[in-house]
Structure 1
Amino acid sequence: MTSPDLVFPDLDEIRGRYGRIAADLDVRVGRVRRLDWNSVTPCSNWNSRDLMAHVVDTHRRVLATLTGEPADEVTDHEDVVEAWRAVTAEMSKALAEDEKALFPVRFFGSESEFANLVGGLLCSDTLIHTWDLCQAAGLEDTLDAAGVDHAMALLTRFGEGIRSPDGFGPEIPAPAVASAQDRLMLFAGRPVIGLD
């Protein structure tokens, strides 16, 4: 089974997409106030720190597909901001190397080039969790528009397979006034304030 993403990765496009999405999250991470790391997020049972630990863990697992070694999970004593900045730098470095970017990997039973895994699943996951962090910390939540369009196209191809207790919730119907970003969040089971 191959990933339902690009068959032949456009490395420049994927590098640009990941760079923009990661940079947007990094800006938000830098603006989270100390007390807001305990704030509840749209993800059930996760506060802001738990959410960022998940983002870091996902990055580490994706990077581990290059080596086949198990990925370390974020510990209770790790600084999630430092962990995020270290792992996103490592991801950008790996993606910049053509040999690694085109390396065939397996993730959740699917086969793909590393770049497609990053540009598809990882970018979509990071983008949506950027929005989640913004809701929890009261930050401005406008996302990369091209990233939103790509994530929506990718996730709709996965269909109901994205939904699980630890994944995305049931789709929420989108009203006619919903923006592309609103529609993505509603598809991912996130209620958007002001649309009902």
Structure 2
Amino acid sequence: MTTTTVQPDIAQAHRRALDATGSLVAQIRPDQWGLPTPDDDWDVRALVGHVVEGNLWVAELAAGRTIDEVGDRFAGDVLGADPRAAYDASATAAASAFEAPGALDAPCAVSYGPVPGRVYAGHRLVDVLVHGWDLAVALGLDPVLAPDLVEISLGLVEPDVAVLKSTGAYGGDVPVPEGASPQTRLLALLGRQT
């Protein structure tokens, strides 16, 4: 009997992560934008700005543009006067970019690539999902992530955890407790204490 591994619809999973994080962004009160987050040196506004900037890059790189072509277009404040609207517009653009016909197979000229769109979509899924957890913690909201998105993310992170940590983009070493839940494992692998 032959078994096959069913690959998740990474574009749909990415959209769901964007939607989940977007529901948290929608709950940010005006007095909460300066709150600290689990990410060193980032307050809530900087964290949301990071996700929005990443979304804007997706829309460009998944459309076949290069880093040089995009240049410094997204340098500085990408949130403007209406951060919620900026998040929503960027999330729509990023989700649509990966859902476009052929986008998951097309090469994306990311800083560590080029890589197929599905690889880039997976990396963005993890980034958006985990930063959603960061945001929930900062706002004092329920930080429980969608279990299926956690499982997909673990499947993407575990094989490449050494490479991911070597980039410096994720936190330091956090021990994974014995019998830890998938969410706790994912967060620990990416340098977060729960």
Normalising by the smaller structure, the TM-score range is 0.7 to 0.9
Distance 2:125 2:53 in 1: 14
Superposition pairs of residues 62-141 of structure 1, within 5 angstroms: 62-65=58-61, 66-68=64-66, 69-70=69-70, 71-75=73-77, 78=80, 79-118=82-121, 120-141=122-143
Alpha-carbon spacing, 1:101–1:160, altered in 2? closer, same or farther (3 Å)? closer
Percent sequence identity is 24
Q: Which runs of 5+ in 2 are unaligned?
A: 1-6
* 1:4 matched residue in structure 2: none
Which residue identity does 1:22 align to in structure 2?
L
* Structure 2 residue matching 1:110: 3-state secondary structure: coil
**Which among 16, 25, 28 is matched to residue 21 of structure 2?**
25
Matched, 1:50 2:46: yes
How far did residue 133 of structure 1 move? 0.3
Q: CA deviation digits over 1:78-107, x for unaligned, max 9?
A: 132221111111122222321334321121
TM-score, with length taken from structure 1: 0.83
Which residue identity does 1:175 align to in structure 2?
P
Distance 1:41 1:166 in 2: 18
Matched, 1:167 2:169: yes
Distance 1:77 1:132 in 2: 18
Q: Which runs of 5+ in 1 are unaligned?
A: 1-9
How far did residue 164 of structure 1 move? 6.0
Distance 2:34 2:22 in 1: 18
Contact 2:17 2:129 in 1 (8 A): yes
Distance 1:164 1:37 in 2: 30
- Structure 1 runs of 4+ aligned residues shifted over 6 Å read none
Contact 1:57 1:74 in 2 (8 A): no
**Size of the alignment, in residue pairs?**
182
* Structure 2 residue matching 1:141: 3-state secondary structure: coil
How far did residue 165 of structure 1 move? 8.5
